[in-house]
Amino acid sequence: MPIVLTVGSLHYDIMVDADHLPRKDETAIGSRWFPKFGGKGGNQAVSAAKAGVESRMVGAVGNDDFASFLRANLTKGGVEDRFIATVPDVGSGMSVAIQDADGDYAATIVSGANLHISATALTDDAVWNGVSVLILQNEVPEVINLAAATEARRRGVKTLLNAAPWRPLGKELRHFIDVLVVNAVEAEMMGTQPVCCLPSAAEAAKRLADQFETVIVTAGSIGLAAWGADDERLQIPAEKVQVVSSHGAGDAFIGTLAAQLANGRDLELACRAASAAAARHVAGQ
């Protein structure tokens, strides 16, 4: 079975339900709160496992109760966690997310132990044994992403970067990215025109393809556009579903996409499967 390796973040998410998202200086009244396993890295690793591949993760947690919760949920989600380090005297990563009645949300993260992942651990042969695809995101320091991507290239492993949350990407890291996935806002922050429809998403993907071999621009309920090797072009409308929550839909997309690529699927099939997985997630399935 193919193996997908995720190097990235783990967060103990505190979710708050409210009628609406508060504005600046507003105190909104919530209806309930509950803990949720999170972090883009953790969510994407679990999503990859759910999509039918072996899933392995490199990350870090603190020596606290949050860490026990995070490890238990990784294992429950089918992710190999033996390369998750425990960092003493540092809290595990966490976030607070507020979700409104329409399923939209806003969040604040505190990175904690995610900032202390060891680059040295990424040179361990055991980490890479059997790996076909590497998943990265921007919730860990770029030096860690660069170390992982450099090692992946040396070993012939395809690297997929979900450039979220957005931050400027160093020239050296760009060189090692095989597949870039950004949403509409992130694409615009990387220098494209605003994305308002599938054709504009396709134009954004085309522009970014000057810097990356394969680019996928996701546009939520609109769908996605991709520009691949040999000028392969895709526009895939989103499935229409009843929204339960959009929280984590992007991570469901990334994990499934990586699993599909690890299984040898071409870009179109991989994108269609990932889009369907994101739609199911939004619908609460």
How do residues 184-236 score in pLDDT, each as one tens digit?
999 999 999 999 999 999 999 999 999 999 999 999 889 999 999 878 899 99
Q: Is 19 a catalytic residue?
A: no
User: How much is the pLDDT for 151?
Assistant: 98
Of 3-12, 164-173, 232-241, the range with the lowest mean pLDDT is 232-241
Cross-strand bridge partners of residue 107: 97
User: How much is the pLDDT for 152?
Assistant: 98
pLDDT band for 241, please (50, 70, 90 cuts): confident
User: How much is the pLDDT for 282?
Assistant: 84
CA distance 167 to 182: 12
CA distance 183 to 177: 17
Q: At what angle do helices 249-262 and 267-282 cross, to 10 degrees?
A: 150
User: How much is the pLDDT for 231?
Assistant: 81
User: How much is the pLDDT for 269?
Assistant: 96
Tokens standing for residue 71: 């490890």
109 versus 46: the higher-pLDDT residue is: 46
Q: What is the mean pLDDT of the chain?
A: 94
Annotated catalytic residue, options 19, 125, 251, 266: 251
User: How much is the pLDDT for 4?
Assistant: 98
Alpha carbon distance, N-terminus to C-terminus of the chain: 25
pLDDT band for 102, please (50, 70, 90 cuts): confident
Best CA proximity match to 94, nearest among 115, 77, 79, 108: 108
DSSP secondary structure letters along 172-210: HHHHT-SEEEEEHHHHHHTTPPPP-SHHHHHHHHHHHTT
Beta strands at 223-227 and 11-18: parallel, antiparallel or unpaired? unpaired
Class of domain 3-177+239-282: alpha beta
Domain-by-domain residue ranges, the chain?
Answer: 3-177+239-282
